[in-house]
Amino acid sequence: MAPELTQAHLWLSLAQEKLLVARDLLRLMHYDDVVSKAYYVMFYAAKAALATRRIDARRHSGAIALFGQEFVKSGRLDSHYLRLLTQAILQTG
């Protein structure tokens, strides 16, 4: 498997793990923690997408900016996804 796909799979595995945790927290009505985990689900999915393009960013803000540039501004994805990701990071702060 190509290294970028291996990295993408790792990020997607993390996203899936955080999604399961978020669902458990939601069931327990820990809403602030749900928001945080939901953000990480989206963030890790964005990192996975970037990994398929061999793009890595160390900081959250950089990853979000690169995700917007590579996938939204290029027309590959609707801008709705970038708005959701941006709103989620604002809610976790």
Helix/strand/coil (H/E/C) assignment for every residue in 23-91: HHHHHCCCHHHHHHHHHHHHHHHHHHHHHHCCCCCCCHHHHHHHHHHHHHCCCCCCHHHHHHHHHHHHH
pTM of the entire predicted model: 0.90
Residue 91 has pLDDT above 90, yes or no: no
Given a cut of 90, is residue 92 above it in pLDDT?
A: no
- At 12-22, the pLDDT tens digits run 999 999 999 99
Q: Mind listing the pLDDT tens digit for each residue in 46-82?
A: 999 999 999 999 899 999 999 999 999 999 999 999 9
Sorted by where each begins, the domain ranges of the chain are: 3-92
